[in-house]
Every structure is written in C-alpha cells, then in structure tokens.
Amino acid sequence: MTDHYDLVVIGAGPAGEKGAAQAAYFGKRVCVVERAPRPGGAAVNSGTIPSKTLRETALHFSQLRQRGLYGVDVHVQPNITIADFMYRERAVVDAEWQLIGENLARHHVTVVQGVATIVDPHAVEVTRYGEEPHRLSAEVILVATGSHPLRPPDFPFDDELGGGVVGCEYAAIFAALGVRVTLVNERSRLLSQLDHEASEALRSDLTRRLAVQVLLDAQATEVRVEGDDKKVGVVRLRDGTELVADCVLVSLGREGATRGLGLAEAGVRINERGFILVDEHYRTTVPSIIAAGDVVGFPALASTSMEQARVAVCHAFDLKYKQRLANVIPYGVWTIPEIACVGESEDSARQKGLNFEIGKASYRLNARGQIIGDLDGFVKLVFHREDQRLLGCTIVGETACELIHVAAAVLAFEGTIDYFIQSVFNYPTLGDAYKYAAYDGLQRLARRVTNTAGLPRVE
Ligand SMILES: Cc1cc2nc3c(=O)[nH]c(=O)nc-3n(C[C@H](O)[C@H](O)[C@H](O)COP(=O)(O)OP(=O)(O)OC[C@H]3O[C@@H](n4cnc5c(N)ncnc54)[C@H](O)[C@@H]3O)c2cc1C
C-alpha cells in the first residue's frame, strides 16, 4: 500500500521540522521520515544544543564568569562527575525532543520512523528493521538529511576519537573545566573568516585565561592511537612535532549526508563533497525534489537550515510567503569569549576596497561590562564613510550572539549608525556599547577630516 502526501520530508532536523511545519501550516498533508529514534538531527542530538548547553555547564562549574569579581577565590568545583557535567545537557535535549514532537503534532504532521530512500521523483521507500518496506508518494519531496563530519581516511577514528565538532568551541569548554587543551590550527589566525581583532581576542583569551596551547600555522599530518590499551592519541605535525593526548578531537568540516538516498538514480545532482546542488529557491535538478539545510552545504547552520526549508517549501507549493533567504545572516561562535558578527568585518571591507570607517566601544567602558566583569569585550561597527550606512558589526564578549541582532536589524533596513546615536538603550546594558561605538566612529570620521586639513593627527 502507498500513502500519498503533498510533501514527504526526509530528516527531522531543523530543516525537516520547520519545512514540514511550514507546509502543514498552509494546509498541506505532510509526512516526515526520520531514521533516528528521536527528532532534532545534529542540532539537538549531537551539535548545536549539546555544545551550547555544555558551554553553560562548563561556565557554571568552573565559575569562570565570577572569578575575581566578589573578592573570594573561586575555582572549578571539585569532585564533579561526568554525570554532573551531562545532567543539564540531557535535560535540555529531552525538552527539545518534546518541543519538536509537539510542534509536528500541532501541525498534524505524520512522523514515520525509518530509513528513507528515494525510489522515483515522487516516491520514497521507508525501511525499518524487521519490517516490510513501506512506500510513500508525494507531490514534492524535501531532502533534509543534513551532514556528517569529514573523516580523513588515514585517521584512526573510534568511539574515543570524536570527529567533526567545532574545535574552538570545544577547546574552550574543556579548558574551562581545567582540561589541558592544545588546539592545532592550519591557518595563521583562529577563525580566519572573522575580523582580525575578534580572532586575536579569541586567541588571547584561550591562551591567557583558559591556558589553551594554540598552535597556529600547524598542520596535523598523522593521528594514531598508542599504548597497551590503545588509549593514547598521538598527533604528528608537519614539522615533525608529536603531541600526545588522552583524547584527540578532530573537526575538519562536514560532508553532505546523501549516500544511499537514491538521489543520483532519481536525477538529483550532488557535488564531490556530497552536497546537493540547488538554486536560490532550493530546487534540485529534479523539479519535484527540493533540498535544504546542511545537505546543500554552506553556511550549514541550524539557523539558516530552518529558513532555507521554509523558503524551499513556499516556492515548491507557490505559497506567497517566504520568497528568499534573508541576505543579512548573523553568525555566532560560542567560544569563551562569545563572538558574533554580521555583514562586513573591517578585514572584508578592506579586501573589497570599500570606502569605510570603523567605530569601536569596549565593554570596559560600559557600566554593564563592569558589573559582570567582562572588560575585554567590544562592539565594532563598520560603516560607509560617505553616508554612514552600517556595513557590518563584530562583537566579542558576553551575549555577543544576542546583541548582534540589533546590528542585523539596522543592516536589514539599510540604516545608518545614526540609529545608535539617536536611540535610547536600557542602562546599564551591553547594548549601550553600540551608541559609544557609533560616537567613536563619528570621532574617527571627524579626525580624518581634520587630518586632511593638515592639522596634527589626534588618536
Ligand atoms: C558541534 C556543532 C555545533 C554546532 N553549533 C551550531 C550553532 O551554534 N548554531 C547553528 O546555527 N548551527 C550549529 N551547528 C550546525 C547545525 O547543527 C546544523 O546546521 C543543523 O543541524 C543542520 O540541520 P539539518 O536539518 O539540515 O540537518 P541535521 O540536523 O543533520 O538533520 C538531518 C536529519 O536527517 C536524518 N536522516 C538522514 N538520512 C536519513 C534517511 N535516509 N532517512 C531518514 N532520515 C534521515 C538524520 O537522522 C537527522 O535527524 C553545529 C553543528 C555541530 C556539529
């Protein structure tokens, strides 16, 4: 027997869940097929939510935020166990499973557990261990199968050797708990896509505050396990140095989870990293098959995956709703310190030859920064020199990933830094730093005018 739906979604990660709910909201009959026992994909089960919860847990147990603030000495709490460390993560993941289940149920989405394979452009076969394959037909199929960590074939991965996690985030989490961490980075800068001051702030905090050994311009050429019980990891670097560790965590990027899905047979084109080729409406090379989320590659974030799926579904069913992915995308990095950016950085603006100025405000000069003891954070604005239109923003420090949305909104509405000058910000808040970054920007502009008039430069 074949069950017929308007939309069959493969995968119940962020893209699958939100794409399904979007179509169902507009009255479509939707079925989601998920091979894992629980929904949520990498975002809930292994990536985003666990790592962000573990970061909070590490900050709590290490009391890193409070160190030096109250005149009493605080350290990592002694005798904490792995169970203590994982307690909150389990609780949050449980709550997320529940919320996703409720969302799909509220939208009357049918959820089928099993492995889906596309058998023709309008049909999916679902297999479950010990059961006969079950066929679902659909007007549209949304592929939202996500991605896997990239695993170099000559690295001996096993259960002890994790792969594909965000190296800097995990380095910070473990270091906060007192684990001695060495971070091997191929490039000369950590997170080289970021503003150079943000990258440097991260390197400096990791080394100075968390005692992480950061090796830049270093490439791991070999990883092997040694010892009688195969419990020691040895990482060999290009220059011959060998690092010995209890655990080696490899995070070298990801590849599309498309193997065995039947895509090529159905006519869907994928690239050499397994990512599905799509157009700006997330249509694949087969008209009835759309794809969204990590499986289509960059930027491979939970935030964008959800939106891509909504846009994909709206186009597929000609729903006059979400027509495109927003062109302003904020990025968050939950290292210690937290980092967020949107639009141009000082570096990207320079590389593009834009006529720009920057404005910067330190958390040190901000009352809220003083209260919480984050004195190294900063807000840095990049704006057009002629009309003061905001071009981008980078924030380092507490709540950077929340604060960045203010800049994202100004960018989306093509606003100028005058927005920050004229606005009233709650006081004392870190948000108030936007105003002082804008003032600083205006002062830099004024100094530039003064300098061109031949007067002495004032810095
Ligand atoms: C350590 C880490 C930290 C991260 N932190 C962040 C962050 O802070 N912010 C952020 O925005 N993003 C973050 N991400 C990225 C985020 O997790 C992914 O972008 C997001 O999960 C992608 O969603 P998705 O729905 O495309 O795929 P996934 O979440 O991977 O879900 C795909 C689903 O498809 C299912 N599936 C696959 N094949 C089949 C099949 N044949 N049949 C049935 N089901 C199938 C899988 O079981 C899975 O449930 C992080 C990722 C990692 C690894």
Rounded to the nearest 5 degrees, what angle is found at the Cα of 390, between the Cα atoms of 385 and 392? Answer: 110
pLDDT tens per residue across all 459 residues of the chain: 679 999 999 999 999 999 999 999 999 999 999 999 999 999 999 989 999 999 999 998 888 887 777 766 667 777 788 888 889 999 999 999 999 999 999 999 999 999 999 999 999 999 999 999 999 999 999 999 999 987 766 665 554 353 223 789 999 999 998 899 999 988 899 998 899 999 999 999 999 999 999 999 988 888 888 887 777 889 999 999 999 998 888 777 789 999 999 999 999 999 999 999 999 999 999 999 999 999 999 999 999 999 999 999 999 999 999 999 999 999 999 999 999 999 999 999 999 999 999 999 999 999 999 999 999 999 999 999 999 999 999 999 999 999 999 999 999 999 999 999 999 999 999 999 999 999 999 999 999 877 766 555 444
| Residue of 275, 301, 341, 342 best suited for mutating to test ligand 1, as the one with most atoms within 8 Å of CB | 301
Show the ligand 1 pocket: residues with CB < 6 angstroms: 10-16, 33-36, 41-43, 47-48, 51-52, 115-116, 144-147, 164-166, 257, 261, 293-295, 300-303, 305, 332, 334
**Range list of H helices, 136-218:** 167-176, 196-208
Candidates 35, 173, 333: which one to mutate for ligand 1, based on the most atoms within 8 Å of Cβ?
Answer: 35
Which residues sit opposite 275 in a β-bridge? none
Residues 6+ apart with CB under 8 A from 63: 74, 75, 76, 77
Count of beta carbons in the 10 Å neighbourhood of residue 99: 14
C-alpha–C-alpha distance, residues 34 and 13, integer Å: 9
Q: For residue 42, report the distance from its CA to the centre of ligand 1, in Å.
A: 3
- List strand residue ranges (DSSP E) for 228-365, in order: 232-237, 242-245, 254-256, 289-291, 331-333, 339-343, 356-362
Mutate to test the pocket of ligand 1, among 8, 145, 169, 268 (most ligand atoms within 8 A of CB): 145
Q: State the Cα–Cα distance between residues 377 and 387, nearest whole angstrom.
A: 27
C-alpha 118/C-alpha 135 separation (Å) is 10
Give residues with Cβ within 8 angstroms of 373, minimum separation 6.
65, 66, 68, 69
Model's pTM, two decimal places?
Answer: 0.93
Q: Using the Cα atoms of residue 48, residue 54, residue 60 and residue 62 in order, give the sign of their dihedral.
A: negative
Residue 361: exposed, middle, or buried by beta-carbon count in 10 A (0-12, 13-18, 19+)?
A: buried
- Report the nearest-CA residue for atom 45 of ligand 1: 11
- DSSP structure class, residue 77: P
Q: Whose CA is nearest to atom 48 of ligand 1?
A: 41
Residue 427 DSSP code: T
DSSP string, 268-306: --B-TTSPBP--TT-B-SSTTEEE-GGGG-TT--HHHHH
